[in-house]
Structure 1
C-alpha cells in the first residue's frame, strides 16, 4: 500500500516539476527569441577565436583578454559636424549634446562673435569615439559652399547639423544642397527657442504651442523660398535641450544612421528625456546576448576558476556601463545636482540598483541563485539555438545565468534612471 502511495506521490511530483519546467521554458523562449534577433552581432567564428585565444592562457591573462574584447565592442566612430552663422549657438549645442555646460572643463568656447576659425573636435566625455565638431561660421559675403566643405573635410562627418538662430538664409540652403550633392545627411536646427519664448511671454495673448508652430512654419516657408522642397526644421534650446524638438531630432538621426552606428549615438545622448532613457535601455539590452555568449567560451576551456571569474568580470563590466550610460555614476549625479535643487543623497534615494555590489564576494551568491532559477531543461532550448554550445550543459547554463542577471540589472538601473530624471525636474511618474 505504501509503495502505491509512494509511486502516486512520485508521479505527482514529476508532473508538477514538468509543469514548472514547461512554464520556465515558455518564459525563457519568449525572452530569448527577442534577444536573439541581435545574435548576428557576434558570430560562431568570433567565439571560436576567443576560445582558442584564452585556452592557451593562464587565468589572469584570459580575464584580461575578455576585458579587452568588452572594451573594443563599442569603438565604432561617430563624427557629427555642427555649423551655422556666427552667434547662432552652435558651440552651445556642441556642449549640450555632450552633456556639458558652456563653462565646464572640455567645453567648446562660446561668445557673441565667431570663436571658431577652423574645425575643432570635441570628444564625448564618456564615449571618446563620439566626436562633435564645431565648424567655422558661415554667412560671409564671399561664402562658397563647395569650398567650405572642402575646407572642413566634409568626408569625415557622418552627418551635419545646420543651425540658425533667426531665419534661414541663402547660404544655409547653398550648404544643404552641396551636402546633399555629396551624399551626406543634414538637419536644420532653429536654436535659441527659449529666448523667443521669454520675449513673447510678455504678450497677454501668449500661446506657447501656437508660437512654436508659427516659428517652425516660418522657417519651413523660408527654406522653400530658397530652394528646399520639403524642409524639416527642429526647434532647439541649447540651455534646455530636453525640451521642444530634441526628441524628434534624435529619432531622425537614429533612423537615418547605418545600423552599426545607431547604438553609439543612443549611448552617447544625454539622458534628459524619458524617451531617450527607454531607447538607451533597448540598445543595451540588444547587446546582452553578445556579452553573455562570452561566458560560453569559459565553460569549454579547462582553466580552474575561469568560468566563475569571467562571469563576474562580464557582469561587473556591463553593470558599470549601464550606470555610466544612464548617468547614474557619482560624477554625473553630482552634475545633475548642480543643475537642479536636489542633493546627491536625494537622487540616490530614488535608486534601488545600488544593491548591485560590484565585488566578487557579493556577486557569487547572486550568480549562483540565478543558476538555480534557470536550471532544468530551459538550457537545452538555448543550446539548440547557439551552434558553438552544442551539448555542453555548462556553457548553456552559464549563458542563461549571465544573460538573466544582466537583464535583471538593466531593468533595475533603467528604472532608477527614470526615477532620478523625474526627481531632478520635480515631477512624479
Structure 2
C-alpha cells in the first residue's frame, strides 16, 4: 500500500497554494535541488570532462530510461531519455513509416496535442511521397482504422478533457489492419497504469516534466518495442545514436537496439533533476495512484457540480475512461482561472473555454480538494473573475 503522507513530504510546495496543475508541470521534489547542486559542484565542478566516464553521464539516458520503463510497463533496454518530446515524436513516426513503406496514411485525432500534429505535418511534407495526415474525432478513431493506414499516432489521454483511449484495443485493431502504432504518453506516464508491452504498442513517447516532476523543459523519452529494436531506422542519425561514437566514423552506423534512438548530447544537469525526481516513485504502486486519483477527481466533480452550476463538465464522468485530470467549460474560463490562481488554487486554461485541474495523490489529498472547491465556489458565485486584470491574456495560459 502506497504511503501518500510520505510522498507528500517529498515535494516542496509553496505555502498557501493548492497545486492542481501537475498535468502541465509537476512541482519540485525536495531531493532535486540537492541532487542538481551535487552534480554541478561535485561532478562537473571537480571531475570536469572526466564526469562523462567517472560520474556515468554517458550512460544516463539508458539507465534513467529503464527507471521510466518501470512506470509504463516497458522491459529493460527498451526506453531511452533525451532531447524533446517533439523530436521523439518525429523519430517514432519516421521509423514507423519506414517499417510500413507501402502505405501513405497516418491516422490521428483532434484530441491529440497540436504539437504532435505539427510534427507529423512537417515530416510528411518533407518526405513528399504522397502521405496524408487524417484527423478524426477521438470517438471515431476505431472505425477509421483500416488497411490504408500506415501508422496510428495517438495521445492516450486527451490533453483538453482527460478522455482516455483504450491503448490495448486500438493497438490490436491497428495491428489487425496492418498498421504500426505510436502512443504519446505525456499525460499518462506517472498518472495512470500503462503497459506498453502488454498492449503490444510499437512505439511510445512522452515527456517527464508533468507527472514525473522533472522540471520545465526536462528531457523526453522514447520506447521501441523489442521486435523493432534492430529494424527501426533512426531518421535523426545523431552522434549519440551511432554504434561507436568515439570511433568518429564518417559514415553512420546505428547503435544497438534502443541506443540508436539517441540523438544529441544528453542534457546532464536536467538528467540529474529527472533522476532525483524519479526517486519519489520508489515504493509507489501505480494502481494505488490510479485509485486515489479517481477518488479525488470524483470528489472534485461532485462538489463543483453541486456548488458551481455555471461550470459544465467537459471530461468523461466515468473515472475509468478519464486520465488524472478534470476539465470544466465556461465562456469566461480564462478569467476564472486567473482569479483562482490569484487566490492560490493553481490549474490552467486551454482554449477555447476549458479550465483544467490535475489530481496527483503523491502531493494532493481530500483536504486540498475540498479547500480548492471552496475557492472555486466563491469565485463563481461572486463573479470575482469579472475584472479587466483577469481577462488580460498572458503568453502562457
Is this a same-fold pair by TM over 0.5?
A: no
**Larger RCO: Structure 1 or Structure 2 (Cα < 8 Å, ≥ 6 residues apart)?**
2
Which is higher, the Rg of structure 1 or of structure 2?
1
The TM-score, its normalising length taken from structure 2, stands at: 0.24
Structure number with the higher helix fraction is 1
